[in-house]
Amino acid sequence: MAKKKENTKKYDNPNVVGLHAAIVEQPITETLETNYMPYAMSVIVSRAIPEIDGFKPSHRKLLYTMYRMGLLSGSRTKSANIVGQTMALNPHGDAAIYETMVRLSAGYEALLTPFVDSKGNFGKVFSRDMSYAASRYTEAKLSPICAEIFRDIEKDTVDMVDNYDGRMKEPTLLPTAFPNVLVSANNGIAVGMASMICGFNLNEVCETTINYLRDPGHDIFLTLPAPDFPTGGEIIFDRSEMESIYATGRGSFRVRARWRFIPKENIIEIYEIPYTTTSEAIIDKVAELIKNGKIREINDMRDETDLGGLKLAIDLKRGADPEKLMAKLFRMTTLQDAFPCNFNILVAGNPKVMGVREILDEWCAWRTESIRRRVFFDLSKKKDKLHLLKGLERILLDIDKAIEIIRGTELESEVVPNLMMGFGIDQIQAEFVAEIKLRNINREYILKRTDEIEALEKEIADLSEILGSRRRIKSIIIDELKQINRKYVTPRRSTIVYSDEIEEFEPVDEVEDYPVTLFLSKQGYFKKITAQSLRMSSDQKYKEGDRLSVSFESANGREVLFLTDLQQMYKCRVSDFEDTKASALGAYLPTKLEMDEGESVIAMLDPGDYSKHLLIVFENGKAARIELGAYETKTNRRKLINAYSDKSPAVSVMLIDAEKDVAVSSNDGRTLVFNTAQILPKTTRTTQGVGVMTLKKGRKVIRAEALKDTAIKNTARYRVRTLPAAGALLRPEDREEQQLSLMED
């Protein structure tokens, strides 16, 4: 074996030599495995990600400590006392424990169903600067709903483990009788993953769970229409967005503030804001907008929050339109914000992102096991009691004999064995008989106790049936959820508004309007060039292999529509794009418009006043004529799905403002000419259209364009009076320019 080359480097300082000798090389993979991974898993499993009961370990340790202190009933105690006792389970310092208590408190208003009944200043979730008082000044106890959180915890419904120093036991989960994981909003950042769970209304969650247990195919939206937040606000409901969140556990939806206008005082009062922001952040942003001259309608904005709740007051200038101002503020501040969802939950110690239905499925399975453990606990206790009473029943046959055995036994240690032999009972039964008080050794007492045997046997039979019946356990869960629904009525705080019903005002007065020319290349590069720039240089630059697809004159304040090959339409303002030069490549639309992967633009359109029609010709020989008004929206939506039929790829898209002739060609050399008046317009965007060209098997339409843009001279040969038609073979004299265009393609 070759010797390892010795390090011959000399050191003047002997301490450096000793330090160098202590350094041991270690592969980075081994370092990650032995040091980093345990830390990462500890943060994920033991700190940041909630479990199926809806709690993180810090929440669970705090609430269980309060439960052990008897704070489910009785009066409140100082928060400092609770924090101190919680440190027996949670050794992370009093500040972290108190912050956890604050978030769970009713005073802080971060939860729809708070678990801590608080007294004193606990701050507010909607305020960044309203600090909570120190723990020595505040008091707390458990809220009444915690009775459902700790229901039957003494009956072995959940596993109990040693605390960090092994001196006491604590539960791994809390046996919540309702799906708290959906009711309580929760967020956490772990290592390499995060969790963001929005809250839902307690009654709606219970009702949904009941219906889901009865019918797994239940439409969740019927009973759980949208999330709910303690700060209220308006949830802007988009069915497709919410369906995606419910199905995958990922996505986002918009929430905006609620406000009212007081005409007498010319004031706007904002009284509910999104859960994701604070009143100070809103005021700071509005002040910045006023300072930069982007908002001129406001005289003053102030925070008038008091004991009655949140209130932000905006003094308007004379003549200001409150509707338009609020629309502008929704666009430019966090008065309208997005709530990102990431339903990442620990299930059996493994993080898992789940949709609402999957969460309900996991919770029901877990709750079923908790009920089964509770029933088994009760069954064992009743069997033990029955066993004792069976022994007592034997004594009933001859009480005098039992007394005689006890009196005739010289040693105390022999009393139990003698009773066992005398009556044929086991040691447990004999111990029970031997412990009966002298006053209870009478026929009346024994008869009363033995009368319980029949009732006990019935109860044991019933519990045994429950233990073996999934249907019975499901019925118990449903009954408990119904009781919770009746006992804890929690009205919805966040109202639901539908995105199509919201009128949004475009800031057209803020956009400088001037003439421009728009260019779109085949590969999706877009340019907006001013008239002056175009006069200076008109030679357009494109990437290698790219060329012009369409161009037309427009204005900076107008709208432009982009139609894609995935049946989607993107609606933009020309002002959304920066002015550029002919020598630049321009903006790459798939990136600029955040298109889906693999999606590309097939048409650029100037909608004007939306009075025109859209003609789409498909590969399968059909053509659809759609009123452009079908794409006009009152909202500021940038993306419209299902813009046209997906039954066949689109070959050509053109705007029609007056009837005109169109030439359609197939890949077998045939062409036909028809007038757009032969196709009736439709208001449905996804119409499949009507047959225009009859195609043989394996053939398809490859081109459709206005007749005036083609080289066709003998139009009578190709014109058809009725549709569909096969068309005629294109003659050489009518195809010269088309062949050139084919070569260019």
Contacts of residue 118, Cβ cutoff 8 Å, sequence gap at least 6: 105, 106, 107, 108, 138, 139, 140
Compute the half-sphere exposure of residue 297: CA atoms within 13 Å on the CB side of its CA: 16
For 207, the enclosing helix (H) or strand (E) is helix 202-214
- Please say whether the beta carbons of 140 and 62 come within 8 A: no
Of 425, 435, 439, which Cα lies nearest the Cα of 395? 425
**Cα-Cα-Cα-Cα dihedral sign, residues 538, 539, 544, 550:** positive
Q: Which residue has the tokens 């299902």?
A: 642
Q: Which residue has the tokens 């804890």?
A: 488
Can you spell out the DSSP letters for 284-336?
HHHHHHHHTTS--SEEEEEE--BTTB--EEEEEPTT--HHHHHHHHHHHSTTE
Query: Where in 49-129 does DSSP place strands (E)?
Result: 77-78, 116-119
98: annotated active-site residue: no
Residue 608: left (phi > 0), alpha (psi -120 to 50), or beta? left
Helix (H, G, I), strand (E, B) or coil at 580: coil
For 464, the enclosing helix (H) or strand (E) is helix 452-467
At how many degrees (to 10) do helices 470-487 and 356-396 cross? 110
State how far the Cα of 3 lies from the Cα of 369, in Å rounded to an integer: 63
Catalytic residue among 11, 36, 137, 514: 137
Residue 467 exposed, middle or buried by CB count within 10 Å (0-12, 13-18, 19+): middle
Query: Where in 574-700 does DSSP place strands (E)?
Result: 587-588, 601-605, 613-618, 622-627, 639-640, 650-656, 661-666, 670-675, 690-691
Q: How far apart are the first and last CA of the chain?
A: 68
State how far the Cα of 333 lies from the Cα of 243, in Å rounded to an integer: 27
Task: Give me the active site residues, please.
Answer: 137
